[in-house]
Amino acid sequence: MRSAFFLAFVLAACTSAAWAGGPQRADLSQEERQRVRRITAPAAQFDRAESFEAMQGGAGTVRKLINPDIFSHPAANLDFEGRQDFMVGNGLFRKDWVSSPSSTQASDGLGPLFNARSCQACHVKDGRGSVPGFDPLQQNDAVALLLRLALPDTAQEAQDRLKRAGNVLIPDPVYGHQFQPFAVPGLPAEGEIRISYQENPVGLNGEEAAVLMVPSYRLESLGYGPLHPDVRVSPRLAPPMLGLGLLEAIHPDDILANAAAARGDGISGKPNWVLDPDTGERVLGRFNWKAGESSVARQSARAFSGDMGLSSPLFPDHYGDCTSVQEACLAMPNGAQSHLGEHEVPGRLMDLVTAYALNLALPQRRNVEDERVLAGKKLFYEANCIGCHVPKYVTRRDAERPEHRFQLIWPYTDLLLHDMGEGLADNVEEGEASGREWRTPPLWGIGLTRTVNPAATWLHDGRARTLLEAILWHGGEAQAARDRVRDMTPAQRADLIRFLESL
């Protein structure tokens, strides 16, 4: 059925105009490469939807009732065994972990310092997290927003770091790689996160100015003394979990082709290369806000370690981000059980969580034939938003999991790093990402963000309360596209937002 689905699309799409760019992929024959070029060429007509455009997750797309659980379904093309693993992984993703020792031995080992007790606490219903600060009553609710800590690179430190471990940041000597506002009983937390905002009006053609919220961060009630005077703080909001396995199945040649494209539009995306610890080779990063992880498995294991202090085969340290200065943290008991192995999250459990994360389904798009949505899509193209938010790909034929193979998908990302300007800069270098560069986030599912989490906001730190605010924060390489949106008529901006809300 998966092959029949794709073949039907190929036969329908082969009349599209040829595209000069496109893949040079070893997993495809020359004839298939030509077909894929045609299929993934940018749209040229906007009076009707493209073939299979509503099926943004390929054959795995789900047709379900739109409700707060719409992001939590398994891919439609999972087989029976895959669905079983998905359901068990779902339970592990949602369960709360507790400190050691505990009578619930299969769930202990939390911390000792941590940001959350479960994956679900940050990725609300598998969607975006929420940030405190907009509502004074939520000031202490910073579960889904973590703060990366990093010291600035010297030229030599940067070179050594890239050779040694790809994307490892230089941590604060006391507080480590990220600030953790929670701790197990008997141990001080690292402190409290406070966020305040200043209003910054931005003029719009034909209507009242939009008001952007400029965040500032304070770390208070520090539990282990002062931070390093040169430490830099990078806030990171938990992103949605949709389609991660399909993003992993995009062929590297397709991503690098976008990096190499000579377009003359001021956009110059670049890859972030990270070290594969198993092979020692540099591989393409494609996950997290700065493309600092190469696979869903490593991203998931790093979150268990850094966010919850739980060891796994990929990150075997039982104490997460505890530093050598935090002696009391290192003296706390861990949750490893001899009958389950040496890790708090044994390999089989980690595999199940990864299987879940790989196969959260994309919902079918809505209103793809609506006249105003199509007008907004045309404006999206004309503003050159597709210079970074590349609409579509055909995944690799030799993807590791069969449900991800040879699928037409519509994620609207190039998975590359782009200079987004000083307004969004965090001044933290991560691998080959500068302090002004961020990975293009996928847009699929963005229109259902508030359906899943009514308190959700946008951008890497949640500062944008609306999709229009998120656009108006774009700078650097995206400044020209942002200015085109600013200069649109109110009706055109409304159509553009309608298009985004259809994704």
Residue 137 pLDDT grade (very low, low, confident, very high; cuts 50, 70, 90): low
Q: Per-residue pLDDT for 354 more than 90?
A: yes
The Cα–Cα gap between 295 and 311 comes to: 18
> If you ran DSSP here, which 8-state letter would residue 230 be given?
T
pLDDT per position as a tens digit, 273-329: 988 877 888 899 999 999 999 999 999 999 999 999 999 999 999 999 999 999 999
3-state secondary structure of 478: helix
pLDDT at 140: 53
Q: Closest Cα partner for 497 from 479, 475, 470?
A: 470
Q: Per-residue pLDDT for 501 more than 90?
A: yes
pLDDT at 108: 86
The Cα–Cα gap between 220 and 230 comes to: 17
Specify the residue for token string 């509502």.
135
CA angle centred on 132, ends 323 and 285, rounded to 5°? 55
Say how far residue 458 (Cα) sits from the centre of its chain.
12
pLDDT at 385: 97
pLDDT per position as a tens digit, 318-331: 999 999 999 999 99
Q: Per-residue pLDDT for 2 more than 80?
A: no
Mean of all residue pLDDT scores within the chain: 90
Residue 431 pLDDT grade (very low, low, confident, very high; cuts 50, 70, 90): confident
Structure tokens at 376: 């907004």
Q: Per-residue pLDDT for 269 more than 80?
A: yes
Query: What are the DSSP calls for 17-77, one per residue?
Result: PP-SS----TTS-HHHHHHHHHHHSPP---SSPPTTTT-TTGGG-B----STTTT-PBPTT
Residue 160 pLDDT grade (very low, low, confident, very high; cuts 50, 70, 90): low
The Cα–Cα gap between 477 and 432 comes to: 17
| Whether the model pTM is above 0.75 | yes
Residue 480 pLDDT grade (very low, low, confident, very high; cuts 50, 70, 90): very high
pLDDT at 161: 56
pLDDT at 13: 44
Structure tokens at 180: 């953790």
Q: Which amino acid is at 29?
A: S
The Cα–Cα gap between 494 and 500 comes to: 10
Q: Per-residue pLDDT for 490 more than 80?
A: yes
pLDDT per position as a tens digit, 439-455: 999 999 999 999 999 99
3-state secondary structure of 94: helix
Distances in Å between the Cα of 373 and the Cα atoms of 134, 237, 365, 366, 483 are 30, 29, 11, 10, 21
Which residues neighbour 320 within 8 Å (Cβ) at sequence distance 6 or greater? 111, 112, 113, 114, 305, 306, 308, 309, 310
Instruction: Give me the torsion for CA of 119, 122, 127, 130, rounded to 10°.
Output: 170
* Range with lowest mean pLDDT among 88-97, 334-343, 353-362: 334-343
Count CA atoms closer than 13 A to 363's CA, side-chain side: 28
pLDDT per position as a tens digit, 7-57: 444 434 433 333 334 557 999 999 999 999 999 999 999 999 999 999 999
The answer for 331, left when phi > 0, alpha when psi is -120 to 50, beta otherwise, is alpha
Residue 101 pLDDT grade (very low, low, confident, very high; cuts 50, 70, 90): confident
pLDDT at 7: 41
**Of residues 1 and 399, which shows the higher confidence score?**
399
Structure tokens at 307: 């966010």
Instruction: Give me the torsion for CA of 428, 430, 436, 437, rounded to 10°.
Output: -160
Domain boundaries, the chain: 2-75+252-270+359-502, 80-242+291-358
Residue 158 pLDDT grade (very low, low, confident, very high; cuts 50, 70, 90): low
Residue 155 pLDDT grade (very low, low, confident, very high; cuts 50, 70, 90): low
Instruction: Give me the torsion for CA of 45, 49, 54, 55, rounded to 10°.
Output: -60
